[in-house]
């Protein structure tokens, strides 16, 4: 691999002005994430009347990936107080309730209301639609390869257990 292809090193003598930002993996990942987030938010605000983050958190609660505000904060890598404010708005709207754990009274579990669950159940269609748009022209093999590379990046940082299963069908929504 040449210096210019190195994933983590700036070639010696490369100035900021000469930095190839459009070839930066970090920049490209960030742009794709922003685009995907914006497209999901456009759909959720129009169709569900809530932000993409709010809808996504309802989805994470519905599928059992998270059950507390602390778990949501870790999953989304955002401040716990920001999650609390977001959950306050969602709770005020009647989409979830906070319930003290019977096993540990210090823990507050988040439970979806029927309306919250109905909204969460609409999220897979929105996710699939957005990804179908973004991955138009990709073959199933290319989608599988992309997922494999993204899992590998996550594994490099989080370890294998945090990445999830390596399976997949090539479906862009998976």
Going from the C-alpha of 153 to that of each of 20, 27, 59, 148, 165, the distances in angstroms are 21, 15, 24, 9, 14
Task: Name the nearest CA neighbour of 68 among 85, 80, 79.
Answer: 80
Neighbours of 134 (CB within 10 A): 13
Q: How confident is the model at residue 171 (pLDDT cuts 50, 70, 90)?
A: very low
Class of domain 45-120 (CATH, top level): mainly alpha
pTM score over 0.85: no
List, for residues 66-112, the tens digit of each pLDDT value: 999 999 999 999 999 999 999 999 999 999 999 998 888 889 999 99
33-69 pLDDT, tens per residue? 999 999 999 999 999 999 999 999 999 999 999 999 9
Q: State the residue for tokens 């987030």.
A: 37
């Amino acid at each position: 691999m040449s210096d210019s292809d190195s994933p983590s090193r700036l070639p010696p003598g490369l100035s900021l002005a000469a930095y190839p930002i459009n070839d930066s993996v970090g920049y490209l990942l960030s742009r794709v994430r922003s685009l995907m987030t914006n497209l999901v938010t456009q759909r959720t605000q129009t169709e569900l009347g809530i932000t993409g983050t709010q809808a996504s958190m309802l989805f994470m609660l519905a599928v059992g990936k998270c059950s507390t505000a602390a778990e949501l904060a870790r999953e989304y890598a955002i401040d716990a107080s920001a999650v609390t404010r977001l959950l306050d708005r969602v709770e005020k709207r009647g989409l979830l309730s906070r319930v003290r754990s019977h096993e540990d009274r210090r823990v507050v579990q988040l439970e979806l209301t029927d309306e919250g669950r109905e909204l969460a159940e609409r999220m897979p269609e929105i996710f699939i639609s957005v990804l179908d748009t973004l991955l138009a022209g990709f073959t199933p093999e290319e989608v599988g390869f992309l997922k494999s590379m993204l899992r590998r990046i996550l594994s490099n940082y989080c370890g294998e257990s945090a990445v999830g299963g390596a399976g997949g069908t090539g479906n862009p929504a998976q």
